[in-house]
Structure 1
Amino acid sequence: MDKKTTSRDGTSLAYQVTGQGPTVILASGAMSTGGTLAPLASRLADHCTAVVYDRRGRGESGDTAPYAVEREVEDLAAVIEAVGGDAALFGVSSGGALVLEAAASGLPVRRVAVYEAPFADLLEGGAAREAVYKENLGKALAEDRRGDAVELFLRLTGLGEEMIRGARQSPMWPGLEAAAPSLAYDDAVMGDGLLPRQRLAAVSVPVLSVVGGASPEWMREAGRAVAEAVPRGTYRVLEGQTHMVEPDVLGPALAEFFAG
């Protein structure tokens, strides 16, 4: 990240700009940084000014207690102002929930696109699962058991126990533990894990909700529900894609939408 701006509460935010055209700010999901979205930004660069940033508490950005979702919305407002005051938003996974909340809050954005914001309404036992995760995650972080917090998240995503044990032995594990406190931020952004229909009704700008055709049915239907909950929503399926979507497939769909 080669640029910095400051959020309303004094938190330093790192960001990077590439390309030219209408400005789009990309928000990452859990356990990731702006760098995670750099390949997608590169794919958009021929059509958009793509901005990636490190959300607070991760990467090169700072953090200021106490956390609140409103602070992350203010972070987005600061980045929008820093890049000229006119932007569209894209968010992946819990980052999708964040950009929808930002739009509902009235930030000056032109358009919003999300990829698989994981609202669990249509997952059997989804609400109960989210409640148990929230409780256990809070305990693990309060006791500074960062590795346990990461394990809880990996299980939530469906990773098997053998793969989790392998992850603990991998070179990436220390980085995951370092980012563990930010899991509470993503959990807060997701609320109770269910689709905030009343909140989404306040989003006045066009919204594109994209899902992968190879993703679980509950996640595909969650994406459809997002498009139906906002006044100006469009639903799109990228055949063969999963939650780990390929930038070369997602990029053209986003470029088409943001140029509209």
Structure 2
Amino acid sequence: MPSVTSTDGTSIAYELAGDGPVIVFVPGAFNDRRTCAPLAEALRDDYTVVSVDRRGRGGSTDAIAPADAGSYTVAHEIDDLDAVLAEVGPAAVFGFSSGANLALMAAAAGSAITRLVMYEAPFALGDPARAGRDGLVDRLAALVADGRAGDAVATMQTEGIGLPAEMVDGLRRSPLWAGLEAIAQTVVYDAVITRAPNVPTAAMASVAVPTLVLAGARTWPGLRDAARALPGVLADARYVELPGGEDHAFPVAATAEAVAEFLASQKPA
């Protein structure tokens, strides 16, 4: 699998397939490159699709030691994305969940993003519960530094994402839990990305990159409300609601169609 080296020495792995204009996929919390793989597969006939493992996940490394997880800043992952874009060229970026927040932050920082698609970015727009809990980042960083990976994962799921405690208890007893513990350090990063007040800054709101905001009609209401509100905040964005999309999962065929139509509509005459 190809990789690039970020500013701090972190190796960022990615998969590349297809042919045509480039789309880079940036996943969210508890995700790796496999999360967007079905969508990338649906688009690869007409696009070059680049599925990224964010730092600390999948095939990517992480130069930040667990004891120093609290030193993470969003600039680390903007540098990671910039390293990928330097390799594949300026590109459209599809951000899923907190990966959409990250992609917008990167666009505001001047990354070579030509078009932006944001799928259910968990901003606190119309839902104060998504504003981020005070002290969450510090508590997560302390848990990671103490080697309490499972507690860090559970804390992020209940306090950061808002999953019911009984659901998290069930997950903790499932075969999936070991994989979540393996990337526990990254929950600190997504907590930083979505920390209070968790609304677009003035720089993010003024991003001139054409943006498509997507949400599923049957997703969690707070995510759908935030997506509906985003075009009223961003400089050049429109909203499309897709059928289905239960429980924060994107409907592959409908999402691929919306992305393709958006990118085709943005081609120069």
How high is the TM-score relative to the length of structure 2? Answer: 0.89
Q: How far has the Cα of 1:109 moved from its partner?
A: 1.6
Cα distance in 2 for residues equivalent to 1:121 and 1:109 = 24
Any residues of structure 2 matched to 1:103-252 within 5 Å, and which? 103-127=107-131, 130-131=133-134, 133-156=136-159, 157-242=161-246, 243-252=248-257
| Structure 2: unaligned runs, 5 residues or longer | 65-70
Equivalent pairs: percent with the same residue? 40
Pairing 1:73–2:72 present: no
CA separation of 1:55 and 1:193: change in aligned 2, threshold 3 A = farther
8 A Cα contact 1:22 1:259, kept in partner: no
Amino acid at match of 2:59: E
Q: How far has the Cα of 1:179 moved from its partner?
A: 0.5
Q: Which of 195-204 and 46-55 deviates more?
A: 195-204
8 A Cα contact 1:22 1:258, kept in partner: no
Pairing 1:258–2:257 present: no
Amino acid at match of 2:100: G
Q: How far has the Cα of 1:215 moved from its partner?
A: 2.1
CA separation of 1:234 and 1:124: change in aligned 2, threshold 3 A = same
Q: Which of 151-160 and 225-234 deviates more?
A: 151-160
Q: How far has the Cα of 1:158 moved from its partner?
A: 3.8
Q: Which of 193-202 and 237-246 deviates more?
A: 193-202
* CA-to-aligned-CA distance 1:236-256 (integer Å, 9 cap, x gap): 111222311122221111111
Cα distance in 2 for residues equivalent to 1:244 and 1:180 = 21
Cα distance in 1 for residues equivalent to 2:50 and 2:214 = 20
* CA-to-aligned-CA distance 1:206-256 (integer Å, 9 cap, x gap): 011111111233222211222222211111111222311122221111111
8 A Cα contact 1:141 1:149, kept in partner: yes
Cα distance in 1 for residues equivalent to 2:163 and 2:130 = 16
How high is the TM-score relative to the length of structure 1? Answer: 0.92
8 A Cα contact 1:103 1:203, kept in partner: yes
Cα distance in 2 for residues equivalent to 1:130 and 1:193 = 9
Cα distance in 1 for residues equivalent to 2:125 and 2:135 = 15
SS at match of 1:130: coil
The number of residues matched between the two structures is: 257
Partner in structure 2 of residue 86 of structure 1: 90
CA separation of 1:34 and 1:142: change in aligned 2, threshold 3 A = same
Cα distance in 2 for residues equivalent to 1:112 and 1:100 = 8
Q: RMSD across aligned C-alpha pairs, in angstroms?
A: 1.8
Pairing 1:44–2:11 present: no
8 A Cα contact 1:200 1:229, kept in partner: no
Partner in structure 1 of residue 27 of structure 2: 28
CA separation of 1:41 and 1:125: change in aligned 2, threshold 3 A = closer
SS at match of 1:51: strand
SS at match of 1:219: helix
